[in-house]
Amino acid sequence: MLTKRIIPCLDIKNGRTVKGVNFMDLRDAGDPVELAAAYAANGADELVLLDISATEERRRTLATLVECVAEKVNIPFTVGGGISSIADVDLLLHSGADKVSVNSSAVKRPELINELSSKFGSQCVVVAIDAKEIENDWRVHLVGGKVSTELNLFTWAKEAEDRGAGEILFTSMNNDGTKNGFANEALARLSEELNIPIIASGGAGIMQHFLDTFTEGKADGALAASVFHYKEIGIAELKQYLNTHGVPMRI
């Protein structure tokens, strides 16, 4: 049986992890390679590396980092953050990324999704969507949630699928950082309206939230950062808990 996926997210700035300083007695907690390897060893099913740096050197720094992670880590990982061209994706995939995620750049120029999926295959194209529910309308936001658009989450997600996205990573801005659980109603609707995997992001606080997002939210994977980085939830423990509650997990 295909299992549900637990996906820690590492925020990267100038080649260093931003959070996670207390994690697992690492020699160098700011080293994304060591952190990624530790997550893999602890049973993470996949990783997301999100580059939040804004320097001009970022592309080369990121590609070098991706190569170092690929050398050491034996599970798949997705790289996202500021990717806007075929050349960006080509460099990252050739450095060892398994998938890339595009966000604002795809909203600005939706054809990018078609171009990437036909050149590299849908399986490596993740469309990340940040959305906020405003008066019963889920509006897509850009630039890490800073800029609001008129675009509706469900309309955009469907368009992304039609254009060749292999997966949707949906972050609810209403839930992100609250630790009150994922946006399960919207997630379930995405899962019903689309026929590609949906990854839930934003809101993880306790183990029950993961159970809820896989059952009520019908998510295929769940992404979280701080609860894992600060060891509030252990990955092995979480997967055992979910398995006991009937969610198929790789144990």
Partner 1 sequence: MKIVIIDYGAGNIKNVKFAVERLGYQAILSDDEATIRTADKVIFPGVGEASSAMRKLDSTRLSIVIPTLKQPVLGICLGMQLMCKSTEEGSTEGLGIFNVDVFKFSKEVKVPQIGWNQIENLESTIFNGIKEKEFMYLVHSYYAPLCSASIAQTTYGITYSSALQKDNFYGVQFHPEKSSVAGEKILENFLKI
Q: Which residues are marked as active site?
A: 11, 130
Is residue 67 within the footprint of partner 1 (CB under 8 A)?
Answer: yes
- Cα dihedral sign, 119-121-122-123: negative
Is residue 120 within the footprint of partner 1 (CB under 8 A)?
Answer: yes
Question: For partner 1, which is the closer residue by CB, 122 or 226?
Answer: 122
Return the structure tokens found at 65: 């980092």
Using the contact rule CB under 8 A, the part of the chain among 24-32, 51-59, 90-98, 229-237 near partner 1 is 90-98
State how far the Cα of 170 lies from the Cα of 176, in Å rounded to an integer: 11
Is residue 76 within the footprint of partner 1 (CB under 8 A)?
Answer: yes
Q: Which of 124, 173, 227, 242 binds partner 1 (CB under 8 A)?
A: 124
State how far the Cα of 227 lies from the Cα of 60, in Å rounded to an integer: 30
Question: For partner 1, which is the closer residue by CB, 76 or 234?
Answer: 76
Helix (H, G, I), strand (E, B) or coil at 70: helix
Using the contact rule CB under 8 A, the part of the chain among 21-29, 38-46, 54-62, 107-115 near partner 1 is 38-46
120 phi/psi in degrees, rounded to 5: -110, -10
Hey, which residues between 135 and 194 contact partner 1 (CB under 8 A)?
A: 166-167
Using the contact rule CB under 8 A, the part of the chain among 23-31, 93-101, 182-190, 231-239 near partner 1 is 93-101
State how far the Cα of 65 lies from the Cα of 150, in Å rounded to an integer: 36
Q: Given the structure tokens 């469309």, which residue do they identify?
A: 127
State how far the Cα of 210 lies from the Cα of 191, in Å rounded to an integer: 16
Largest distance between two CA atoms of the chain: 47
Residues of this chain that bind partner 1 (CB under 8 A): 1-5, 40, 45-46, 67, 70-72, 74-76, 93-98, 118, 120-124, 166-167, 195-197, 220-221, 250
